[in-house]
Amino acid sequence: MESLRGSHSLSVPKTETKSPIDEMQSLQFDIEAENRVLMELLKRRDDEIQEIQRMSDSSATKEHRETIKALENEVLRLKTENEQQKQSLNEMTSELMANHVTGYMPDILDSK
């Protein structure tokens, strides 16, 4: 310090001073880096949300498939029952026609 008093020129350690443009570019770089990190986090969250939606969709789809399968089974059962009733009706009609030709008229409805 003593040497500085005697000298009229002060020697200040040189620090790198950034121009306003350099500071703005540095801030912009920092902001862009933060933005990339935030966008990556946002993308991860979006992926998680989509995965949850896919899972809920697939469980709903599974439920729908089970419902559709149950309905298909019911339709098949009704078709089979309908075919059996048609067959029975055809047999009764044939028997009735045969009996009509011969003049024999049994009470078919009571016997079945």
1 domain residue, yes or no: no
Q: Is the pLDDT of residue 7 over 90?
A: no
13 domain residue, yes or no: no
For the stretch 17-55, pLDDT in tens is 778 788 888 888 888 999 899 999 999 998 888 888 887
| Domain carrying residue 41 | 22-87
For the stretch 8-19, pLDDT in tens is 555 555 666 778
Q: How sure is the predictor about 107, in pLDDT bands with cuts at 50, 70 and 90?
A: low
Number of domains in the chain: 1
Report pLDDT for 1. Answer: 45
92 domain residue, yes or no: no
Buried b (16+ CB within 10 A) or exposed e, 75-108: eeeeeeeeeeeeeeeeeeeeeeeeeeeeeeeeee
95 domain residue, yes or no: no
Report pLDDT for 13. Answer: 57
8 domain residue, yes or no: no
For the stretch 63-95, pLDDT in tens is 888 888 899 999 999 999 999 999 988 888 888
69 domain residue, yes or no: yes
Report pLDDT for 39. Answer: 92
99 domain residue, yes or no: no
14 domain residue, yes or no: no
